[in-house]
Amino acid sequence: CSDRLVVWSHKRGEAAAEQHMQATGNAYLRNDEYDGWGDTIQNDGKKVTFFGLGAVPARIKNRFSGNDQTGKKIIYDRSTNDFSVEGSI
């Protein structure tokens, strides 16, 4: 990202730590299956949300099948490798 990266975690008792991340400003995220872009990216454990800004949409692209989606907001579920697009272009 080009503006700000905030990463934090919180552990409650014996439970696994909760990890969170927010990247702002032309942010990019890559995993084994997908590449994703957005003005802002929020990662809350298993859910990753990509936000577009104005005329520049968020985008997610499968690295192998070529499935490419754009929209105002994209929610990606890391546990199932599925995503939903709001405000699709």
Sign of CA dihedral 78, 83, 87, 89: positive
Three-state DSSP state, 7 = strand
CA of 17: how far to CAs of 10, 22, 47, 75, 78, in Å? Answer: 5, 17, 15, 22, 17
Q: Rounded mean pLDDT of the chain?
A: 89
| Alpha-carbon dihedral angle through residues 59, 68, 81, 87, given to the nearest 10 degrees | 50
Beta 18-30 vs 34-44: how paired, if at all?
antiparallel
Whole-number pLDDT of residue 45: 80
Which pLDDT belongs to residue 22?
92
- Mean pLDDT on 59-86: 89
* 24 pLDDT above the threshold of 80: yes
Q: What percent of the chain has pLDDT over 90?
A: 43
Mean pLDDT value of segment 5-24? 86
